[in-house]
């Protein structure tokens, strides 16, 4: 077993290709499907038979052009009605990166879908129609991106061809949205003037907008730095599954399996076990029964400990000097996703990392008015509404504030009668 001495420094790892997950959002007619179709098409992620299908459908519908939006309309109802129903996932790659797009529709169920897509995203692409300027939905997108703490926001001002590639039209939108987002907490925001239909500044630099000094969208997606966005400072390892093989050779073998949610684990690292509060050391880290010398987000590994302790799913191994709060009372922002409204006094199941408990809504502190960024009093949260609540839990949950760790700061609420996932929560405070 490698001792602590050999793990005093990190070994640089040669990496060929990273994964970037991004969410796209837009209103019905601002050309989001066309933009994604364009990205897939121009990066050559579209196969000939898919293109052929699109050509045939465009022809039959009488679109009069190769309708790239059809590439992403998955279900029959969507193709017939020309709308997008649900979150869809798309994949493409360039020589630099692999991309997963969470494509969220802009009309009904809009907050619910966008929050879902945004929850796993490193970056969000928001579209604005250059002719119409900043809309209510644009503001909503930016707000949700900041609420879900997507570290990078890209605003594509689309349909620049329809405003004569006018720099002033672009600048006006940049200025208006910059003023508005100054009130939000968005670490990195980039504006790109594009025409998805004509391909300006999507993959290749536009010749019609020489005044724009920045990079085209694809270049930006390939180069944006996402490595520092994770929390590497504080160990957070929610125990997911206990591995106890049968057989004499594994007589005393006991390992804790899970996905690292924060920090860098090494053999020899001290850890605190919550909720028991016992301290121990990491004896070995394993992956597929082989020893490894470091584990960090988002690796799935197994941990063997120096002491025999009673640890099970739902417990968490954490940084002893900086543990999360083992809390029964949570203050949280909630996005509501059910037709049955959230109201004070209601009870739900709460799932946080690998631990599930029950929670009662003690108080609905306010509802968020997304347009004015104000708070308003409310006695319930309806579908697609966002508000701040106080929850009381049946068992302690090991939480961090969401802004510090997106994994240990998030939870879902489940309706125990219907089994539906009804709410998405982000911890802002805990006791």
Partner 1 sequence: MRHPRGAAKLNPLHYELSHLESLEAESVYIFREVAAELEHPVLLFSGGKDSIVLLRLAEKAFRPARFPFPIMHVDTGHNFPEVIEFRDRLIERLGERLIVASVQDSIDKGRVVEERGPRASRNRLQTTTLLDAIAEHGFDAAFGGARRDEERARAKERMFSFRDDFGQWDPKRQRPELWSLYNGRIRRGEHVRVFPISNWTELDVWQYIVAERLAVPSIYLAHPRRVFQRDGMLYAHSPYVELIEGEVPFEASVRYRTVGDMTCTGAVRSGAATLEQVVSEIASTRITERGETRADDRVTEAAMEDRKREGYF
Binding positions for partner 1, 85-104, rule CB under 8 A: 85-91, 93, 97-98, 100
- Closer by beta carbon to partner 1, 199 or else 238: 238
Strand 188-193 relative to strand 152-158: parallel, antiparallel, unpaired? parallel
Contact flag: residue 58 with partner 1 (CB under 8 A)? no
d(CA 190, CA 125): 10
Nearest residue (CB) to partner 1, 206 versus 231: 231
The secondary structure element, H or E, covering residue 364 is: strand 355-369
Nearest CA-CA partner of 26 in 130, 137, 115, 162:
137
* Of 318, 298, 306, nearest in space to 238 by CA: 318
- Shortest Cβ distance from residue 319 to partner 1 (Å)? 6
Q: Report how far residue 417's alpha carbon sits from residue 340's, in angstroms, rounded to the nearest whole number.
A: 12
User: Running DSSP on this structure, what letter comes out for residue 200?
Assistant: B
Nearest-angstrom CA–CA distance, 192 and 183: 21
Q: Give me the sign of the Cα torsion angle 26, 30, 33, 39.
A: negative
Concatenate the DSSP letters of all residues of 203-224 into one string: TB--SS-TT--S--HHHHHHH-
* 132, 210, 211, 253: residue in contact with partner 1 (rule CB under 8 A): 253
Kindly state the smallest distance separating residue 118's Cβ from partner 1, in Å.
9
Q: Shortest distance, CB of residue 345 to partner 1, whole angstroms?
A: 22
| Span of 191-199, 258-266, 303-311, 368-376 interacting with partner 1 by CB under 8 A | 258-266
Is the CB of residue 18 less than 8 Å from the CB of residue 229?
no
137 within 8 A of 32, measured Cβ to Cβ: no
CA dihedral 326, 327, 332, 337 (to 10 degrees): 90
410 binds partner 1 (CB under 8 A): yes
- How many residues sit close enough to partner 1 to count as binding (CB under 8 A)? 86
Least distance between partner 1 and beta carbon 119 (Å)? 4
Under rule CB under 8 A, residue 210 binds partner 1: no
Binding mask 381-400 for partner 1 (x = CB under 8 A): --------------------
Give the gyration radius of the chain's Cα atoms. Answer: 24
- Tell me the window of 165-173, 191-199, 202-210, 404-412 that interacts with partner 1 (CB under 8 A): 404-412
- Shortest separation between residue 287's beta carbon and partner 1, angstroms: 7
- Could you identify the residue written with the tokens 């954490």? 318
User: Among residues 183, 196, 224, 181, which one has the least CA distance to residue 67?
Assistant: 196
- Closest to partner 1 by CB, 77 or 210: 77
Binding-site string for partner 1 from residue 277 to residue 296, where x marks contact by CB under 8 A and - marks none: ----------xxx----x-x
Longest dimension (CA), the chain: 76
Q: Which of 1, 6, 29, 75 binds partner 1 (CB under 8 A)?
A: 75
180 forms part of the interface with partner 1 (CB under 8 A): no
Considering the complex, state which of residue 60 and residue 277 has its C-beta at the smaller distance from partner 1.
Answer: 60
**Residue 149 sits in the site that holds partner 1 (CB under 8 A):** no
- Segment lying near partner 1 (by CB under 8 A), choices 79-87, 163-171, 191-199, 388-396: 79-87
Q: Does 245 bind partner 1 (CB under 8 A)?
A: yes
Alpha carbons 63 and 68: distance in angstroms, whole number:
11
Span 296-325, contacts to partner 1 by CB under 8 A: 296-300, 313, 319, 321-322
Name the 3-class secondary structure at 78: helix
Q: Determine if 406 is a binding residue for partner 1 (CB under 8 A).
A: yes
Considering the complex, what minimum distance in angstroms separates the CB of residue 78 from partner 1?
A: 9
């Amino acid at each position: 077993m490698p001792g602590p001495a050999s793990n005093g420094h990190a070994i640089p790892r040669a990496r060929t290709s990273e994964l970037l997950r991004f969410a796209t959002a837009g209103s019905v007619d601002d050309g989001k499907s066309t933009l994604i179709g364009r990205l897939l098409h121009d990066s050559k992620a579209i196969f000939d038979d898919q293109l052929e299908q699109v050509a045939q459908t465009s022809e039959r519908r009488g679109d009069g052009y190769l309708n790239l939006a059809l590439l992403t309309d998955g279900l029959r109802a969507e193709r017939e009605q020309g709308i997008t129903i649900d979150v869809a996932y798309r994949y493409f790659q360039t020589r630099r990166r692999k991309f997963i797009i969470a494509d969220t529709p802009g009309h009904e169920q809009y907050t619910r879908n966008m929050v879902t897509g945004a929850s796993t995203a490193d970056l969000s692409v928001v579209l604005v129609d250059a002719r119409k300027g900043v809309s209510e939905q644009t503001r909503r997108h930016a707000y949700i991106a900041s609420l879900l703490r997507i570290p990078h926001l890209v605003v594509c001002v689309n349909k620049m061809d329809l405003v004569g590639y006018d720099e002033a039209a672009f600048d006006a939108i940049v200025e208006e949205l910059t003023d508005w987002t100054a009130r939000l907490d968005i670490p990195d925001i980039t504006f790109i003037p594009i025409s998805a239909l004509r391909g300006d500044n999507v993959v290749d630099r536009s010749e019609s907008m020489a005044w724009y000094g920045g990079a085209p969208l694809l270049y930006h997606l390939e180069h944006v730095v996402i490595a520092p966005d994770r929390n590497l400072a504080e160990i957070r390892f929610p125990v997911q599954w206990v591995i106890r093989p049968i057989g004499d050779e594994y007589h005393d073998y006991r390992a804790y399996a899970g996905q690292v949610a924060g920090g860098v684990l090494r053999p020899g690292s001290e850890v605190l076990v919550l909720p028991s509060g016992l301290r121990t050391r990491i004896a070995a880290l394993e992956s597929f029964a082989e020893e490894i010398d470091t584990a960090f987000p988002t690796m799935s590994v197994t941990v063997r400990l120096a002491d025999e302790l009673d640890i099970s799913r739902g417990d968490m191994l954490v940084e002893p000097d900086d543990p999360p709060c083992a809390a029964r009372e949570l203050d949280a922002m909630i996005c509501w996703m059910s037709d049955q409204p959230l109201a004070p006094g209601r009870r739900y199941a709460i799932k946080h990392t690998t631990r599930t408990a029950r929670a009662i809504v003690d108080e609905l502190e306010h509802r968020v008015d997304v347009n004015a960024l104000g708070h308003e009093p409310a006695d319930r949260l309806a579908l697609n509404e966002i508000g701040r609540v106080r929850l009381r839990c049946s068992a302690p949950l090991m939480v961090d504030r969401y802004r510090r760790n997106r994994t240990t700061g998030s939870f879902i609420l489940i309706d125990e009668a219907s089994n539906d996932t009804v709410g998405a929560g982000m911890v802002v405070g805990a006791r």
